[in-house]
Structure 1
Amino acid sequence: MKLVVVTAGLTQPSSTRLLADRLAEATVRRAGPEEADVRVIELRELAVDVANAFVTGFPNTRLRDAIEAVTEADGLIAVTPIFSGSYSGLFKSFFDVVDNTALAGKPVLIAATGGTARHSLALEHALRPLFAYLRAVVVPTAVYAAAEDWGGGRDAFTDGLGERIDRAAGELAGLLQRVPEEKAAPEAVVPFAEQLAALRPPG
């Protein structure tokens, strides 16, 4: 199982990276005994490469390697900080240089971090439409972590962060474990001349 984590945190250490790591760990735990190959892509390390790809029209070797990892992954965890009520520009720019067919049918867990819970709806009005446009299969539970969530507290409207992480990870793991449906055998094609012959009356 190839699981790729894309995180757009800009600082080090980063709460965005921390959330991404917790989601990856929970997904691997819920996916079961199958060995998982987890790769984390830190977009802040690729910021200049992404900008150059926009200018030149071609990704360099390092960026191309990251794009190929996302394309070949069985599942994706995408985490961004929320700036001005939406995903970060670096996060959007990276997915702009990924081929728009690369995520078709791919299970994706979306998550975000922010200073206040008021920005949590950015997951639904910004991130989910972005990945729906890319034809990814986005898990129902999106995970948002505000500053107060890291203290382990709860509020009157949401479950604790740990519960949200576990629920979303379980949904992604379920999609990763899904057995592909067997392809139906192609129907035999009877030539048109034979069909006409079968309709002729005997004699």
Structure 2
Amino acid sequence: MTTKRIVVVSSGLSTPSSTRQLADRLADDTATELRERGVEAEFQFVELRDLAHDIANHLLLGFAPPKLEAVLESLGRADGLIAVTPIFTTSYAGLFKSFVDLIDPDALTDLPVLLGATGGTPRHSLAIDYAMRPLFTYLHAVPMTTGVFAATGDWGTGGDGVRSLPDRIRRGASEFAEAVDRFDRTAVHGDPFALDRPMGHLLGGLAGE
């Protein structure tokens, strides 16, 4: 069975966090959708709250402590990214943006990204489209058409009256799973172990031929 690696980034600040809860739900439905396609999902969950000091140090000093560096490197090997943030003052959290600023500009090229956000009122739901989507498009990632916003009133209710939160999660996860299944990192970035010229040339010292 094919295995796809998915990084799940959550930038909730409280414990427990509705942002992490939404991230978990998106991951669970994605795993189900991929399994139906004969694909196994391997998830790496990242709580930015736990990396806040490392992120600040990287921004101030210019280098990543080992734990943060490992997370950033994992994005360069991932087949998909689930990114979920709380919405503060009509946009993503500062911690979330600070983390994104540290990502290698090439790491997210053509990478499928499922966007999620949480907030107190459905009025913040548009932040996915006017704030989060342009951010990841700028990084050459491929955000899914369906972004999933969860307001406080969505938990344990029928949702917004048009499509319930579970329905929206399922729809976003389905789109994301299809994109992850198709994604081929070697086609985007090439094989890092490939030789830049034939082996015979390397052995024979024929560098430019």
Task: Report the TM range for the smaller structure's normalisation.
Answer: 0.7 to 0.9
Q: SS in structure 2 opposite 1:13?
A: coil
5 Å matches for 1:35-184?
35-156=40-161, 158-178=162-182
| Deviation (angstroms), 1:179 | 6.7
**RMSD of aligned alpha carbons:** 1.2
CA pair 179-74 structure 1, distance change in 2 beyond 3 A: closer
Q: Note if contact 2:154-2:160 (Cα within 8 Å) is conserved in structure 1.
A: no
- Partners of 2:156 and 2:118 lie apart in 1 by 14
Aligned amino acid, residue 25 of structure 2:
R
Whether 2:19 is the aligned partner of 1:16: answer yes
| Deviation (angstroms), 1:123 | 0.4
Which region of structure 1 is more displaced relative to structure 2, 76-85 or 29-38?
29-38
- Partners of 1:26 and 1:94 lie apart in 2 by 25
Q: Deviations over 1:58-81 (max 9, x none)?
A: 111011011011221100000000
Aligned pairs, how many?
A: 180
Q: Which runs of 5+ in 1 are unaligned?
A: 184-203
Calculate the TM-score normalised by the size of structure 2. Answer: 0.83
Aligned amino acid, residue 117 of structure 2:
A
Q: Deviations over 1:40-61 (max 9, x none)?
A: 0000000000000011111110
| Deviation (angstroms), 1:151 | 2.2
* Structure of higher CA gyration radius: 1
- Partners of 1:111 and 1:96 lie apart in 2 by 18
- Partners of 2:183 and 2:18 lie apart in 1 by 34
Q: SS in structure 2 opposite 1:72?
A: coil
Calculate the TM-score normalised by the size of structure 1. Answer: 0.86
What's the counterpart of residue 6 of structure 1? 9
- Partners of 1:154 and 1:15 lie apart in 2 by 15
Q: SS in structure 2 opposite 1:102?
A: coil
Q: SS in structure 2 opposite 1:97?
A: coil
Q: Identity, % of aligned pairs?
A: 52
Q: Note if contact 2:112-2:183 (Cα within 8 Å) is conserved in structure 1.
A: no
- Partners of 2:28 and 2:129 lie apart in 1 by 24
| Deviation (angstroms), 1:105 | 0.6
